[in-house]
């Protein structure tokens, strides 16, 4: 099988923990051919098929020089649909260029490409808003740009979290307690004086036990999650914000959430999703480039990358 990874620059990868690298390692172990490109390497010319300026790579096993790349072909481009599978693994932000990349990849699908996660599904599932469809699994949540709505929500729940809809890695997350200190200023900052919507949620004290990343692969939850535990006075558990990642078995509630959301997400073309759970509540559904494969493997020995490649190979048979 020939797999194209559409991702960030390979030189930027932290190989000891990068989930895309874990996928590549397992794919190469199974004898699959690996190629890579960046979204900026995709192109589409009138009357033609979507092309990629891709490089075939071989993983070396060396931590510092972890791959070698073949010389670029004379014409420099491959038809994206000629690959057996295309994995969209570009990290957020989901900005206009990411959006355009999904359109190019959707055209590649019309050419015959098999893209995971499906480009349309990536567009249809904004990672914070997507939880609103599953009200039975989330805590009190409000999406608005109206500061008076936010004040009323705060008055009702007392201790709240505010965050931008397009944030990542814990960026722009604020907690406002019962005293309401700085609520107006924080609202103005996040909603840009009424120009932008934001999400407001009741604070979940279970965050002290971790913000759990439950991985849904091929519609089924992996048996272990990674609890990202806030450190010191920090309210955010995100690893990018300094959280401590602790792998643990899924709780009964985690399994219930995975069993309910998994088939729905898989049916929409989301081969891999990262469902974030605090306590008993889903807080986000990550679909762009979910992570934590390597941390779970290092701590438990469960090979998440193997589970993913099993699901990918099964999907390609359908």
**C-alpha distances out from residue 120 to 55, 124, 132, 150, Å:** 26, 6, 19, 31
DSSP 298: H
Active site residues: 128, 163, 213, 228, 236, 276, 284, 286
Residues whose CB is less than 8 angstroms from the CB of residue 66 and which lie 6 or more positions away in sequence, other chains included: 13, 15, 21, 59, 60
Is this model's pTM higher than 0.85 or not? Answer: yes
What would the two tokens of residue 76 be?
């420099």
How far, in Å, are 139, 156, 232, 280, 301 from residue 205 at the CA level? Answer: 12, 17, 15, 11, 30
248-272: average pLDDT? 98
Kindly tell me if the per-residue pLDDT of 308 is higher than 80.
Answer: yes
Owner of token pair 């002290």: 208
Contact assessment for residue 243 and residue 261, using Cβ atoms and an 8 Å cutoff: no
CA dihedral 25, 114, 49, 42 (to 10 degrees): -40
Tell me the C-alpha to C-alpha distance, in Å, between residue 196 and each of 105, 144, 199: 28, 8, 10
CA distances, 247 to each of 15, 102, 190, 215, 228 (Å): 19, 32, 32, 12, 9
The mean per-residue pLDDT over the stretch 33-50 comes to 97
Eight-class DSSP state of 30: T
Domains of the chain: 2-117 (3.40.50.20), 140-203 (3.30.1490.20), 206-317 (3.30.470.20)
Q: Per-residue pLDDT tens for 215-243?
A: 999 999 999 999 999 998 888 888 887 88
C-alpha of 183 from chain center: 29
Report CA dihedral (114, 215, 161, 94) to the nearest 10 degrees: -20
pLDDT for residue 60: 96
Task: Identify the CA nearest to 166 among candidates 284, 269, 20, 87.
Answer: 284
Give the Å distances, CA to CA, from 76 to 42, 79, 87, 108.
12, 11, 20, 18
Confidence of residue 72 (pLDDT cuts 50, 70, 90): low
pLDDT at 74: 56
N-to-C CA span, the chain = 15
d(CA 2, CA 302): 25
Q: What is the mean pLDDT of residues 118-136?
A: 96
């Amino acid at each position: 099988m020939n797999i194209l990874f559409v991702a960030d620059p390979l030189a930027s990868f932290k190989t000891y923990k990068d989930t895309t690298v874990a996928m590549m390692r397992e794919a190469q172990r199974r004898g699959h051919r690996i190629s890579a490109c960046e979204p900026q390497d995709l192109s589409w010319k009138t009357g033609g098929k979507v092309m990629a300026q891709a490089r075939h790579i071989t993983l070396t096993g060396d931590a510092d020089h972890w791959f070698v790349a073949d010389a670029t072909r004379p014409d420099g481009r491959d038809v994206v649909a000629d690959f057996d599978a295309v994995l969209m693994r570009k990290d957020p932000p989901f900005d206009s260029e990411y959006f355009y990349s999904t359109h190019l990849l959707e055209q590649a699908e019309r050419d015959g490409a098999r893209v995971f996660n499906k480009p349309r599904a990536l567009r249809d599932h904004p990672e914070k808003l997507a939880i609103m469809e599953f009200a039975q699994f989330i805590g009190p949540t409000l999406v608005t740009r109206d500061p008076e709505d936010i004040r009323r929500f705060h008055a009702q729940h007392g201790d709240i979290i505010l965050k931008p809809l397009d944030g990542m890695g814990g960026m722009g997350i604020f907690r406002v307690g019962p005293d309401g200190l700085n609520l107006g200023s924080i609202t103005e900052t996040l909603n840009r004086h009424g120009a932008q919507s934001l999400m407001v949620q009741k604070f979940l004290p279970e965050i002290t036990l971790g913000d759990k990343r439950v991985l849904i692969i091929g519609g089924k939850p992996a048996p272990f999650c990674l609890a990202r535990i806030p450190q010191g006075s920090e309210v955010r558990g995100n690893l990018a914000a300094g959280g401590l990642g602790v792998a643990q078995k899924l709780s009964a509630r985690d399994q219930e959430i995975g069993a309910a959301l998994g088939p729905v997400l898989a049916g929409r073309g989301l081969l891999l999703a990262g469902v974030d759970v605090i306590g008993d509540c889903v807080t986000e559904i990550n679909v762009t480039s979910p992570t934590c494969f390597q941390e779970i493997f290092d701590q438990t020995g469960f090979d998440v990358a193997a589970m993913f490649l099993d699901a990918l190979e099964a999907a390609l048979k359908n």
